[in-house]
Amino acid sequence: MHIQKFRKLNVWAKAMDFTECVYKISHKFPKDEMYGLTSQIRRASTSIALNIAEGSGADSDKEFNRFLAISFRSAYEVMCAMELAKRLKYCDLQEYDIISKQCDELSAMLSGLKKYLNSHQSSAISHQK
């Protein structure tokens, strides 16, 4: 059995943990938000791990980097939604801070992997010349 390489990425594991936390916190949102903010924040958080997984199967580092960029933007989307949830008092400050800290760590990991892929890509191009 072939193990997908995304399962070996720490950033993917972090994204899965982040998504789990978002689901647990958003479970407390009002029921009338099920098809609004709750759905949106869950889809955005899920998008992070899904794009890391999909991108890891890409044919090139450039393509993988594109999927990581989508993951990065989805993380920002989650934080915007959490800011709104905090303002609407759907979550407390402690829950917001937990998500915010995890999102900062995840964003830094995504950024680091993107930089690594860019430098890997640059060195591969320079070797071809």
How is the chain classified by DSSP, letter by letter? -PPPGGGG-HHHHHHHHHHHHHHHHHTTS-GGGTTTHHHHHHHHHHHHHHHHHHHHTSSSHHHHHHHHHHHHHHHHHHHHHHHHHHHTTSS-HHHHHHHHHHHHHHHHHHHHHHHHHHHHHHHHHHHH-
* Predicted local confidence at residue 122, as pLDDT: 55
For residue 54, the enclosing domain spans 8-128
The token duo for 40 is: 């949106």
pLDDT in tens, the chain (129 residues): 345 789 999 999 999 999 999 999 999 999 999 999 999 999 999 999 999 999 999 888 899 999 999 999 999 999 999 999 999 999 999 999 999 999 999 999 999 999 998 887 655 444 344
In a domain, 1, yes or no: no
In a domain, 2, yes or no: no
Report the predicted TM-score, pTM, of the whole model to 2 decimal places. Answer: 0.88
CATH number of the domain bearing residue 39: 1.20.1440.60
The domain tally of the chain equals 1
